[in-house]
Amino acid sequence: MAVALVLVLIVVGSVLFHLLSPWWWTPIASNWAYIDNTIIITFWITGIVFAAVVLFMAYCVFRFRHREGNRAFYEPENKRLESWLTIVTAVGVTALLVPGLFVWSRFVNVPSDATNVEVVAQQWQWSFRLPGKDGKLGTSDTRDVTADNPLGVIGGDPNGQDDVVVEAADLHLPVGKPVKMLLRSIDVLHDFYVPEFRAKMDMIPGSVTYFWFTPTRTGTFQVLCAELCGQGHPLMHGVVVVDTQQDYLAWLGQQQTFAQLSAPLQTGSADQAPGKTMASGLKIAAKLETVRAR
């Protein structure tokens, strides 16, 4: 009795929790409402299955609990029932998979009018690079990373000279324009994740990964690192500001290009490597200190 009741309460409680609790996703700010819809479909199908199985168990426990003189029914198998259940399950699974794969193909096929934005992660901060007037990002290599050239842009590549470099500061994006985020890391794995955009992807040193999205509303959004990257991982926050076109251009005008950034520093680079002499433990402590202060 009590057991059957508890099983029913688990179903009722879970459903009520789902419907009434205040914990739910953040309001979306990208075109990936498709993903939200797929989640809703999945909630429906799985919720129904969960309720059906547990309520069926509750009924069995109540109806077939042991009483004096009871005897179980001897039935080793029932081919028809088993086939039916298999077919129904296969149909349910297909109903989940097909829309899922459909949305995935959108997710991985980037529209041709998307602009490239590069994100470069390092322990434990985010930097960004936007193509300049030529619309192309210069090539880069981790081995070219120095204090003057924190993103490792290859100096000899003419395409890179006009690239806009945003080091350890906020990224701005214009609303309504699709962007392809090109993701790079110069040290360990990281993951660029903005909950409101519903998208994320790991960044791997030595590779360029990507995802794309279209920001659908203006606002300021927090970037979270979603791949364990060492002690500073939970502090590795960043900011993406989605602007109107006008505000975006104003911001862009204030940024510096790769050429501008590297020119003056080429002479005064005596203090470029204070880290080299520091023990690695101290360097990490110092780095954490700066990340925390931000």
Partner 1 sequence: MVDITPADGIPPAEVAEVELYHPHSWWTKYVFSQDAKVIAIQYSATATGIGLVALVLSWLMRLQLGFPGTFDFITPEAYYQFITMHGMIMVIYLLTALFLGGFGNYLIPLMVGARDMVFPYVNMLSYWIYLLAVLVLVSSFFAPGGPTGAGWTLYPPQAIMSGTPGGQDWGIILMLSSLILFIIGFTMGGLNYVVTVLQGRTRGMTMMRLPLTVWGIFTATVMALLAFPALFVASVMMLLDRVLGTSFFMPAISEMGEQLQHNGGSPILFQHLFWFFGHPEVYIVALPAFGIVSDLISTHARKNIFGYRMMVWAIVGIGALSFVVWAHHMYVSGMHPYFGFFFATTTLIIAIPTAIKVYNWVLTLWRGDIHLTIPMLFALAFIVTFVNGGLTGLFLGNVVVDVPLSDTMFVVAHFHMVMGVAPILVVFGAIYHWYPKVTGRMLNEALGRFHFWVTFLGAYLIFFPMHYLGLMGVPRRYAELTDMTIMTESAHHLNSFISIMAFIVGFAQMVFLFNLIWSIRHGREAGGNPWRATTLEWQTPQTPPAHGNFGKDLPIVYRWAYDYSVPGAKEDFIPQNIPGSFGPSKEPA
Phi and psi dihedrals of 87, rounded to 5? -65, -45
Site for partner 1 in 53-92 (CB under 8 A): 53-54, 56-57, 60-61, 64-66, 70-78, 81-82, 85-86, 89-90
Q: Give me the least distance between CB of 85 and partner 1, in Å please.
A: 5
Task: Supply 216's token pair.
Answer: 């659908």
Site for partner 1 in 207-266 (CB under 8 A): 207, 209, 211, 221-222, 224-235, 237
CA 54 to CA 12: how far, in whole Å? 10
- Residue 183, interface with Cu ion (CB under 5 A)? no
- Residue 194, interface with Cu ion (CB under 5 A)? no
- Residue 22, interface with partner 1 (CB under 8 A)? yes
What are all long-range contacts of 267-273, with beta carbons under 8 Å and residues at least 24 apart?
269/147, 269/148, 272/146, 272/147, 272/148, 273/147
Task: Supply 230's token pair.
Answer: 């060492």
Site for Cu ion in 227-286 (CB under 5 A): 229, 233, 236
| 150 or 252: CB nearest partner 1 | 150
| 44 or 260: CB nearest partner 1 | 44
**Distance of CA 43 to CAs 29, 50, 168, 214, 254, Å?**
21, 10, 39, 25, 46
| 154 or 201: CB nearest Cu ion | 201
Q: Give me the least distance between CB of 2 and Cu ion, in Å please.
A: 36
CA 151 to CA 118: how far, in whole Å? 10
For Cα atoms 181, 186, 188, give the angle at the middle one, nearest 5 degrees: 100
CA 197 to CA 210: how far, in whole Å? 14
CA 275 to CA 189: how far, in whole Å? 22
Site string for partner 1, 172-191 (x = CB under 8 A): -----------x--xxxx-x
Residue 155 touches which member of Cu ion, partner 1, none, C-beta under 5-8 Å by kind: none
Q: Which stretch binds partner 1 (CB under 8 A): 125-133, 154-162, 171-179, 274-282?
A: 274-282
- Residue 225, interface with Cu ion (CB under 5 A)? yes
**Could you list the residues that contact Cu ion (CB under 5 A)?**
190, 225, 229, 233, 236
